[in-house]
Amino acid sequence: MKEYDTYIFDLDGTLLDTLGDLSASVNYALRLHGMAEHSVDDVRQFVGNGVRLLMTRAIPDGENNPAFEDTFETFRTHYLEHSLDTTLPYPGIMEMLGELHKRGKRLAVVSNKLHTATKDLCRHFFAGFIEAAIGENEAAGVRKKPAPDTVVEALRQLGVGCEGAVYVGDSEVDIATARNASLPCISVLWGFRDRDFLLSHGATTFAEQPSDLL
């Protein structure tokens, strides 16, 4: 696979397997507010566009539900407290990041996860490798993906431009984000979406395992 100078990674489904903790927090909030819970496979399909849309998909009638805001806040509070219960890097991720770092590559993470959670998770798992971690923070003028803002901010913090940079993600949102940021995109196949789904959303380059990125 082509080697790049800068790698911008999605987080959930790309570097970290967060599905267990996300599912637990979704179902905790639904259960507390008397709503039907979802399977892990259901939640897998809900993720990718930020936590508010995750809960919009999970809660009956979405934002039209009178209990939406309370349920969303319950989820948010629970997830911030339990985001490390079962979350771990996918097999091979640490070795891949270590090798890219050794080669002098610039590494960043952009996510639709809450900005605080994004930074905390990157600090916990990837300290020394990830130089910039940007999460959902529209209050600071950084729109969530697929807007290019998080990528633009990551490149700014790294002090580099688009030339020689690549976006790595696992979802249709990541494909659109890369396109909007004028970056090539590598779609990974160990995350939340499969090859056929990604192909149907315009994916062209795939990594079947983390070592394929080297």
Radius of gyration of the chain (CA): 17
Of 214, 200, 204, 154, the C-alpha closest to 179 is 204
Dist CA 161 CA 139 (whole Å): 25
Active-site positions read 10
**Is residue 178 helix, strand or coil?**
helix
Dist CA 121 CA 117 (whole Å): 6
Dist CA 167 CA 174 (whole Å): 8
- Residue 114 CB neighbours (<10 A): 19
Of 9, 5, 49, the C-alpha closest to 185 is 9
